[in-house]
């Protein structure tokens, strides 16, 4: 290869790298703005425009007064000195929490701390290890949510793809018509099916546990612990699977049918190529982009339904944590949970953009746009 060709290839590589960098920067900035808006609205709503801080101030005054009255060292103090002591403690706590500042300024400070994951201390809740740090509380619950939803969604994706590919070969068959007829059943959320699964498979036929993540007390052996987790996962995973599988098969089978009638597919058949090779190269590959898109959009919808599903199965994940935080009016935990969900959604959308370019060779980054 000549020096000119090498230099041209290097310039082309650098140009593509710059385009990728510009595209990545723009997408990250757009997602960051979206997350900022969502988190800030959550801060305002969770604090009810500052009214929660007023309730917090009243709680601080009550707690300080009860602490002074309960301390024997202050029993002999005159009432005015005890009142002054209570006011001093309240003033210190108000200064620490910056409750003496306007809510608009504190809301921006809350936003900054939330975005850098400096989530502060919980007001009412704590982790199983006893930590009051919101980050530690969420970090303790996040793996359970990722395990449950990751398993269910991967199962739905692979089963639906292969089932849809198989149905596209049997268009109009009894099985195909059955799937079409069952597709509207996906309108019901996973927790709806979960209630019936608990009734049938946990109480009428007690094959699986009704809720929780592991047996009580937890098994000490690692394999026994994993087996217990799998048994407890069975019903919630099955509920999400039933809720999503039929509409996924129906949608993706439609993609396969559309592409199987393209001219290049007919040409491949006329050349005598094997059916499996035609499916893999000329049908499956062109449809992966819309399939992955619909799958990730489905995943985003499932994130939003995590609260009810985890509550139904008493699964100790982020959904249950957010439900408990709302019940306790623990604003830092509410905001922290929403921040984590927002980041998960943003990461999902960001990954989707790059999967487009990887799965579909027709997608190119031009001038920072896909």
List, in order, residues 6 or more apart from 222 with CB less than 8 Å away: none
Mean pLDDT along residues 52-71: 70
Q: CA quadruple 304, 309, 314, 317: dihedral positive or negative?
A: negative
State how far the Cα of 329 lies from the Cα of 334, in Å rounded to an integer. Answer: 8
More confident residue, 89 or 214: 214
pLDDT number for residue 94: 74
List, in order, residues 6 or more apart from 59 with CB less than 8 Å away: none
Can you say whether residue 205 is alpha, beta or left, with left for phi > 0 and alpha for psi between -120 and 50 degrees? beta
Stretch among 43-52, 134-143, 232-241, 338-347 having the lowest mean pLDDT: 43-52
CB 70 within 8 A of CB 82: no
Q: What is the DSSP letter of 218?
A: P
Q: Please say if the pLDDT value at position 273 is more than 70.
A: yes
* Mean pLDDT for the chain overall: 78
CB 121 within 8 A of CB 133: yes
Q: Please say if the pLDDT value at position 235 is more than 80.
A: yes
pLDDT number for residue 54: 67
State how far the Cα of 271 lies from the Cα of 257, in Å rounded to an integer. Answer: 20
Percentage of the chain surpassing pLDDT 90?
7
- Calculate helix-pair angle for 222-260, 134-169, nearest 10 degrees: 40
For residue 366, the SS3 value is: strand
Stretch among 5-9, 264-268, 329-333 having the lowest mean pLDDT: 5-9
Strand partners, 121: 133
List, in order, residues 6 or more apart from 291 with CB less than 8 Å away: 161, 252, 255
pLDDT number for residue 51: 63
pLDDT number for residue 370: 45
Mean pLDDT along residues 38-54: 71
Q: Report residue 80 as tokens.
A: 């005015």
Does a cis peptide bond (omega within 30 degrees of 0) precede residue 217?
Answer: yes
**What are the pLDDT digits (tens) for 77-133?**
677 777 777 777 778 777 777 677 777 777 787 788 777 777 777 878 888 888 888
**What are the pLDDT digits (tens) for 167-209?**
877 777 888 888 888 888 888 888 889 999 999 999 999 899 9
DSSP secondary structure letters along 54-87: HHHHHHHHHHHHHHHHH-GGGTTS-HHHHHHHHH
For residue 110, the SS3 value is: helix
Q: What is the CA radius of gyration of the chain?
A: 28
Mean pLDDT along residues 237-251: 88
pLDDT number for residue 231: 92
State how far the Cα of 358 lies from the Cα of 19, in Å rounded to an integer. Answer: 15
pLDDT number for residue 367: 44
**What are the pLDDT digits (tens) for 27-38?**
778 878 888 887
Q: Report residue 228 as tokens.
A: 């217990």
CB 335 within 8 A of CB 39: yes
CB atoms within 10 A of CB 326: 15
pLDDT number for residue 211: 86
Q: Report residue 145 as tokens.
A: 């949510």
Percentage of the chain surpassing pLDDT 70?
81
State how far the Cα of 168 lies from the Cα of 252, in Å rounded to an integer. Answer: 9
Q: CA quadruple 124, 129, 131, 134: dihedral positive or negative?
A: negative
């Amino acid at each position: 290869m000549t020096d000119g060709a090498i230099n041209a290839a290097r310039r082309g590589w650098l140009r593509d790298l710059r385009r990728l960098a510009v595209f990545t920067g723009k997408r990250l900035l757009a997602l960051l703005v979206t997350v900022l808006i969502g988190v800030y609205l959550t801060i305002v709503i969770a604090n009810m425009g500052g009214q929660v801080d007023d309730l917090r101030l009243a709680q601080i005054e009550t707690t300080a007064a009860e602490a002074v009255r309960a301390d024997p060292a202050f029993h002999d103090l005159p009432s005015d000195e005890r009142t002054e002591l209570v006011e001093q403690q309240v003033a210190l706590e108000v200064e620490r929490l910056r409750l003496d500042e306007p809510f608009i300024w504190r809301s921006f400070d809350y936003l900054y701390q939330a975005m850098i994951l400096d989530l502060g201390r919980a007001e009412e809740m704590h982790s199983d290890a006893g930590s009051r740090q919101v980050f530690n509380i969420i970090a303790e619950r996040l793996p359970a949510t990722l395990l449950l939803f990751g398993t269910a969604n991967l199962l739905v994706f692979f089963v639906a793809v292969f089932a849809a590919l198989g149905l596209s070969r049997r268009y109009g068959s009894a099985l195909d018509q059955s799937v079409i007829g069952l597709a509207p059943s996906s309108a019901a959320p996973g927790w709806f099916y979960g209630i019936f699964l608990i009734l049938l498979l946990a109480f009428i036929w007690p094959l699986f546990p009704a809720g929780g993540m592991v047996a009580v007390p937890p098994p000490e052996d690692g394999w026994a612990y994993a087996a217990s987790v799998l048994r407890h996962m069975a019903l919630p995973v099955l509920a999400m699977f039933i809720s999503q599988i039929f509409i996924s098969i129906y949608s993706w089978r439609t993609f396969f049918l559309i592409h199987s009638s393209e001219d290049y597919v007919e040409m491949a058949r006329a050349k005598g190529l094997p059916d499996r090779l035609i499916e893999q190269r000329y049908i499956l590959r062109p449809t992966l982009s819309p399939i992955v898109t619909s799958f990730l959009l489905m995943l985003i919808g499932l994130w939003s339904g995590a609260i009810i599903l985890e509550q139904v199965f008493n699964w100790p994940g982020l959904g249950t944590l957010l439900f408990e935080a709302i019940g306790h009016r623990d604003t830092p935990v509410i905001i922290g949970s929403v921040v984590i969900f927002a980041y998960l959604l943003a990461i999902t959308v960001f990954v989707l953009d790059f999967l487009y370019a990887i799965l579909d060779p027709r997608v190119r980054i031009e001038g920072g746009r896909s």
